């Protein structure tokens, strides 16, 4: 059996769309010492491929981080495969709130040096000395009080479309940048109550340990992240302190938490929170685009990219942009974001929403 996938992406997408059964979209992570990450990776790939699971899963010597979809009729068998490994014992599994089951169309399991690229030297501080885990309700109440420092530990393209009320959302492109920036920005708040949050909670594990190591005395983090918060807020019927959309790294690009749109189309500036990748394959820039601009620019980020997209293979090789494929992690994204901001303030007649 092959332990990776070789079929063309478009074929796989069509196959997914024509499926007649339902899938559950789930996520989970755990920091756990794995002696042989490659062997573990091959075992779970084999098990989960057999059950027709899709997703993006990272395995490292320090644990696992998984976002995936499992066919409903295989869900019990899937849970049984977890029973084979100590790392999964009582692992909290988070279920997506907006779930059409079309979140992934193939299975990728990768071995990486670290679960999240944080640029930190783990040997230099105690990574197990993490902040206090707050459940969704505790976090909700502390944010409501408005008395504490709330920090979004995600990248700026994530917080742009949704974040907690009054949160500090640093303009960071990567988690590595984010940690450095937050430590610096909060330098005079070492005795304040700090409330950290991220998508599913994994980034706060490292960030909270690092802040404590740097002298912060009251570090707290949202257990299960925005995913769990959104689920519980719905269940408890509370008014959400998270406004907008939760960015997720799958085909859906985001799930709405309270139906408010807080971001803007990067091309015309009108309220919009739909992330897309530029349709010019040699650009693939991640940006926010409204349906009208998608039509006007043929799903491209610029006229230039539209020209390249519509050119022949020969012309393409000449025109080809040197930009590499990236997931928002680029200064070009920031440039398009700033252009959108400028367009909004310069053209306030056409604009009636909130400011960025
Ligand atoms: Zn637009
Ligand atoms: Zn482009």
Tens-place pLDDT, residues 171-220: 888 899 999 999 999 999 999 999 999 999 999 999 999 999 999 999 99
Last residue of some domain: 197, 220, 236?
236
Say if residue 21 is in the same domain as residue 92. yes
Which ligand neighbours the alpha carbon of 321 most closely?
A: 2
Q: Which residues make beta-bridge pairs with 69?
A: 25, 54
Q: Which of 53, 169, 198, 283 is catalytic?
A: 198
Q: Which residues make beta-bridge pairs with 286?
A: 277
Q: Cα 304 from chain centroid?
A: 28
**How far, in Å, is the centroid of ligand 2 from the Cα of 302?**
6
Between β-strands 193-197 and 218-222, what pairing exists: parallel, antiparallel or unpaired? parallel
Between β-strands 132-134 and 218-222, what pairing exists: parallel, antiparallel or unpaired? parallel
Backbone angles phi, psi at 114, to 5 degrees: -140, 160
* CB neighbour list of residue 313: distance below 8 Å, 6 or more residues apart: none
Establish if 15 belongs to a structural domain. Answer: yes
pLDDT given for residue 94 in this prediction: 87
Burial class (CB in 10 A: 0-12, 13-18, 19+), 138: middle
**How far, in Å, is the centroid of ligand 1 from the Cα of 242?**
25
Residues 203 and 153 sit within 8 Å (Cβ to Cβ): yes
Residues 151 and 178 sit within 8 Å (Cβ to Cβ): no
Q: Is position 272 annotated as part of the catalytic site? A: no
Say if residue 131 is in the same domain as residue 232. yes
pLDDT given for residue 314 in this prediction: 74
pLDDT given for residue 333 in this prediction: 58
**How far, in Å, is the centroid of ligand 1 from the Cα of 307?**
19
Q: Which residues make beta-bridge pairs with 57?
A: 66, 109
Residues 289 and 266 sit within 8 Å (Cβ to Cβ): yes
Angle at 97 between CA 118 and CA 234, to 5 degrees: 110
**CATH code for the domain in which residue 105 is found:** 3.30.70.100
Which ligand neighbours the alpha carbon of 277 most closely?
A: 2
Quickly list DSSP for 133-164: EE-HHHHHHHHHHT-SEEEE-S-HHHHTTEEE
**How far, in Å, is the centroid of ligand 2 from the Cα of 268?**
16
pLDDT given for residue 281 in this prediction: 86
Say if residue 43 is in the same domain as residue 105. yes
pLDDT given for residue 332 in this prediction: 54
Say if residue 232 is in the same domain as residue 127. yes
Say if residue 15 is in the same domain as residue 89. yes
Establish if 278 belongs to a structural domain. Answer: yes
Say if residue 269 is in the same domain as residue 225. no
Say if residue 90 is in the same domain as residue 192. no
**How far, in Å, is the centroid of ligand 2 from the Cα of 257?**
29
Domain that holds residue 61: 9-111
pLDDT given for residue 352 in this prediction: 34
Around ion ligand 2, residues with a beta carbon closer than 5 Å are 278, 280, 283, 285, 301, 305
**How far, in Å, is the centroid of ligand 2 from the Cα of 119?**
29
Q: Structure tokens of 215?
A: 């002298």
Establish if 165 belongs to a structural domain. Answer: yes
Residue whose entry in the numeric block shows the structure tokens 């430590």? 183
Establish if 47 belongs to a structural domain. Answer: yes
Question: How many other β-carbons are positioned within 10 Å of the β-carbon of residue 205?
Answer: 24
Cα distances (Å, whole numbers) of residue 271 to 20, 72, 291: 35, 36, 11
**How far, in Å, is the centroid of ligand 2 from the Cα of 282?**
8
Residue 273 to residue 254: CA distance in whole angstroms: 9
* CB neighbour list of residue 191: distance below 8 Å, 6 or more residues apart: 217, 218
**How far, in Å, is the centroid of ligand 1 from the Cα of 34?**
47
**10-residue stretch averages of pLDDT, the chain, 356 residues long:** 73 85 92 93 97 95 93 97 95 82 88 87 84 96 96 94 95 90 95 96 93 96 94 92 89 82 92 92 88 96 90 73 45 55 45 32
pLDDT given for residue 325 in this prediction: 41
**How far, in Å, is the centroid of ligand 2 from the Cα of 265?**
15
Establish if 290 belongs to a structural domain. Answer: yes
Backbone angles phi, psi at 323, to 5 degrees: -65, 140
Residue 332 to residue 277: CA distance in whole angstroms: 13
**How far, in Å, is the centroid of ligand 1 from the Cα of 273?**
11
Which ligand neighbours the alpha carbon of 305 most closely?
A: 2
Which ligand neighbours the alpha carbon of 299 most closely?
A: 2
Say if residue 106 is in the same domain as residue 131. no
Residue 356 to residue 352: CA distance in whole angstroms: 12
Contacts 24+ apart (CB under 8 A), 38-45: 38/111, 40/85, 40/87, 41/109, 41/110, 41/111, 42/3, 43/84, 43/85, 44/81, 44/85, 44/109, 45/3, 45/4, 45/107, 45/109
Say if residue 161 is in the same domain as residue 188. yes
Which ligand neighbours the alpha carbon of 294 most closely?
A: 1
Number of compact structural domains in the chain: 3
Residues 262 and 165 sit within 8 Å (Cβ to Cβ): no
Say if residue 270 is in the same domain as residue 298. yes
Structure confidence by residue, pLDDT tens digits, 321-352: 444 444 444 555 555 555 555 544 444 333 33
Strand, helix or coil for residue 267: coil
Which ligand neighbours the alpha carbon of 344 most closely?
A: 1
């Amino acid at each position: 059996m092959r332990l990776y996938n070789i079929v063309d992406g478009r074929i796989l997408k069509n196959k997914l769309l024509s499926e007649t059964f339902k899938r559950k979209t789930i996520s989970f992570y755990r920091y756990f010492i794995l002696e042989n990450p490659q062997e573990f990776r091959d075992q779970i790939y084999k098990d989960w491929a057999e059950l027709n699971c899709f997703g993006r899963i990272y395995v490292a010597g320090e644990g696992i981080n998984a976002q995936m979809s499992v066919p409903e009729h295989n869900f019990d068998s899937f849970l049984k495969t977890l029973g084979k490994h100590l790392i999964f014992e009582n692992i909290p599994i988070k279920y997506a709130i907006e779930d059409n089951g079309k979140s992934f169309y193939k299975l990728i399991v990768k071995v990486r040096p670290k679960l999240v690229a944080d640029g930190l030297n783990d040997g230099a501080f105690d990574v197990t000395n993490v902040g206090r885990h707050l459940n969704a309700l505790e976090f909700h109440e502390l944010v409501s009080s408005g008395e504490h420092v709330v920090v979004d530990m995600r990248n700026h393209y994530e917080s742009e479309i949704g974040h907690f009320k009054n949160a500090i959302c640093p303009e960071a492109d990567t988690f590595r940048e984010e940690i450095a920036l937050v430590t610096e920005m909060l330098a005079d708040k070492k005795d304040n109550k700090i409330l950290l949050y991220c998508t599913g909670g994994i980034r706060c594990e490292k960030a909270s340990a690092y802040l404590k190591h740097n002298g912060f005395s009251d570090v707290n983090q949202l257990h299960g992240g925005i995913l769990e918060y959104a689920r519980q807020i719905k269940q408890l019927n509370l008014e959400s302190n998270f406004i907008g959309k939760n960015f997720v790294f799958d085909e859906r690009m985001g799930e709405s938490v309270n139906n408010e749109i807080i971001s803007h189309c990067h091309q015309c500036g009108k309220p919009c929170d739909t992330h897309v990748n530029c349709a010019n394959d040699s650009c693939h820039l991640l940006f926010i685009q409204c349906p009208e601009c998608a039509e006007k620019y043929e799903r491209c980020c610029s006229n230039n990219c539209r020209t390249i997209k519509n050119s022949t293979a020969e012309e393409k090789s000449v025109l080809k942009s040197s930009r590499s494929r990236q997931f928002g992690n680029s200064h070009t994204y920031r440039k398009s974001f700033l252009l959108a901001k400028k367009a909004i303030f310069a053209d306030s007649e056409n604009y009636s929403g909130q400011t960025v």
